[in-house]
Amino acid sequence: MIIGNKKVAIIGAGYVGSSIAYSLALRDIAREIVLIDINIEKAEGEAKDIRHGLPSMGTTDLYAGDYKDCADCDLIIITAGRGRNPGESRLDLAKENIEIVKNVVNSIKKYYTRGVILIISNPVDIITLKVDEWMGLPNGMVFGSGCILDSSRFVRTIADYLELNTGVINGYIVGEHGDGQVPIWSNVTINGIPIDEYCENVDLPWNDDVKNQMAIKVKNMGAEIIKSKGKTHYGIATCVCYLADAILNQKATIVSVCSTLMGEHGVRNIALSVPSVVGPRGVQQRIRERWDQEEYRAFFDSVNNIRNKLKSVSS
């Protein structure tokens, strides 16, 4: 079963937005994709470049448009905003990107009729909360990519250490998409087997030092890529494809994304990542899984960090 027209609008035709459009087109997930950017010529160039390869790869109708094309979308993806420079944290972008995205939302609201709104712009946790407030939609209809990419990097890192395929590994990062991210080691499993038990069976070292080294590596991956090539865009584009498939094709899945919490883990009125059921209505449910005490403490540190940043950008 499908919903609507499987129409997607992508706001922002920079590296991230155009990579998302390219990935969605190659996967043939959407029937219609519109690229919208303040630089109309840039959006047109990106759309034409992607379109030229589609006859042999997919059937998506992809074109450059404007905000009126947000009408009747099933999914609106916001990537607008400045990216990180080397040495910056995602939170350093807050004030500047909040203003940029506020203007985007004001333009969307003129034509919005329906559909899920997915936030990619950083700092994604803060901007997701703001867009949720500005749009006034039912809870979960606005959500952010949050820790989905961090979780993917986490699983990749574990797989490399264990020398296994990523498909047998289940694990999540929660909290802030940034320095306050929290790996939930207590729930990592290898084909259903707790990771500490698996490592004991295969005689691999498994202790706090190993876990800390992995956590630091995962946390720094984005900054290292930016230092090497100036941008990160392929990884998030792939993750967005996964989310878009869940939304457009009713393939509900569980991923760690950010949305405004409604009392989960005792937290309200702040957007952070927890494992969530994502489907045609966006975040349809947040999973209240159990963590160990140290993980809870780290999560609440992340909550306080975001709350403090919200106060600073609101002042």
C-alpha distances (whole Å) from 116 to each of 43, 101, 137, 246 are 22, 16, 9, 11
Going by C-alpha positions, the residue among 134, 191, 126 that lies closest to residue 164 is: 191
Which DSSP state fits 84? P
Strands (E), 70-224: 75-78, 116-119, 142-144, 169-170, 173-175, 181-183, 189-190, 193-194
The yes-or-no answer on residue 177 being catalytic is: yes
pLDDT of 314 = 67
Token couple for 36: 């919208």
Q: Are 32 and 252 in contact (CB under 8 A)?
A: no
Instruction: Please list the pLDDT of the chain residue by residue as tens digits (315 residues).
Output: 344 689 999 999 999 999 999 999 999 999 999 999 999 999 999 999 999 887 777 788 999 999 999 999 999 999 998 766 666 665 677 888 999 999 999 999 999 999 999 999 999 999 999 999 999 999 999 999 999 999 999 999 999 999 999 999 999 999 999 889 999 999 999 999 999 999 999 999 999 999 999 999 999 999 899 889 988 899 999 999 999 999 999 999 999 999 999 999 999 999 999 999 999 999 999 999 999 999 999 999 999 999 988 888 764
Pick the catalytic residue from 52, 177, 233, 265.
Answer: 177
Rounded distance, CA 37 to CA 266, Å? Answer: 39
How many Å is the maximal CA-CA distance in the chain? 60
The pLDDT, as a whole number, for residue 90 is 59
pLDDT of residue 91: 64
- Separation of alpha carbons 58 and 236, rounded Å: 21
CATH architecture of the domain covering 7-144? 3-Layer(aba) Sandwich (3.40)
Euclidean distance between the first and the last CA atom of the chain, given in angstroms as a whole number: 47
CA-to-CA distance for 130 and 142, rounded, in angstroms?
A: 10
CATH architecture of 148-314: Alpha-Beta Complex (3.90)
Residues carrying CATH 3.90.110.10, the chain: 148-314
Sign of CA dihedral 266, 268, 272, 275: positive
Q: To which H or E segment does residue 131 belong?
A: helix 124-135
| Delimiting residues of CATH 3.40.50.720 domain(s) in the chain | 7-144
Residue with tokens 């992607």: 50
Q: How far apart are CA 78 and CA 11, in angstroms?
A: 5
User: Contact 115/11 with Cβ under 8 angstroms?
Assistant: no
pLDDT for 2: 42
Inter-residue contact 126 to 271 (CB < 8 Å): yes
